[in-house]
Amino acid sequence: MARQKTSPTSRSPQKPGKPPRRSLLRRLLLWCLALVLLLLLLPYLLIPLYKLPEIRPVSTLMLAETLSGRAYERQWVGFDDIAPVLVQSVMMSEDGQYCAHSGVDWEALNLVIDDALEGEVTRGASTIPMQTAKNLFLPSTRSVLRKALEIPIAMWMDVVWSKRRLMEIYLNIAEWAPGIYGIEAASQAYFGVPAAKLSARQAALLAVTLPNPIKRNAANPSRGMTRLAGVIEKRASQSGAYIKCLYD
């Protein structure tokens, strides 16, 4: 019986080899770039969704509290159920040109940049939309990169949301004390009253708490905090021309 010869051109099937290391690194890099791009675009996709009044956004600090297993308190309250004097006080304390700008107070920001370039101590220039952008989507650590990300997000918010909706979200996600978020929870925690029943002095004290809610206590203010609250209370009483975008 003749023995079958193997053709010299025939080859036994080879097992697929591992992809080159360069190909794996390239895929990994592409996935990382896609993830970064998604994270950068996510705020712009969520902002139209957050326009809906039934949506109640949470801040990055609230998410951090949840992920770390710590409890926090937040009671959402509609804009019309917040005492106008509180809104006035927060505007006069945090962003007096809120109704005039489109998310960013460029004049104040340019002054801060000029001071920084000249080596002088800078003051804050964050508007309420910029603070809302930070609270909703960005880390709380201060950096030039975070500020650069804040600005376009704040401007997009101002385009998509009404001024009332933006203020409503800001007041409901701001941190007013450790573990206390939103004006309703803050009003109850500090003064035992709902946000709708805040007095002018209580509203002013809450407003001046916002820049440093970890160290400032609206129910037990320092002498300097009391003096500052008096200034804000006076400004709030004269703020009629500044709040027309909220109370027509």
Q: What is the pLDDT of residues 151-207, one digit of tens each?
A: 999 999 999 999 999 999 999 999 999 999 999 999 999 999 999 999 999 999 999
Q: Work out the average pLDDT over 217-238.
A: 96
- Contact (Cβ atoms closer than 8 angstroms) between residue 87 and residue 167: yes
Mean pLDDT (the chain) is 88
DSSP 7: P
pLDDT of residue 117: 58
- Contact (Cβ atoms closer than 8 angstroms) between residue 158 and residue 103: yes
SS3 212: coil
Q: For residues 170, 176, 179 and 184, what is the CA-based torsion angle, rounded to 10 degrees?
A: -70
Separation between Cα atoms, residue 156 and residue 122, nearest integer Å: 26
Q: Work out the average pLDDT over 92-118.
A: 82
Structural domains for the chain:
58-242 (1.10.3810.10)
Angle at CA 191, nearest 5°, toward 185 and 194? Answer: 50
The whole-model pTM stands at 0.85
Separation between Cα atoms, residue 246 and residue 13, nearest integer Å: 75
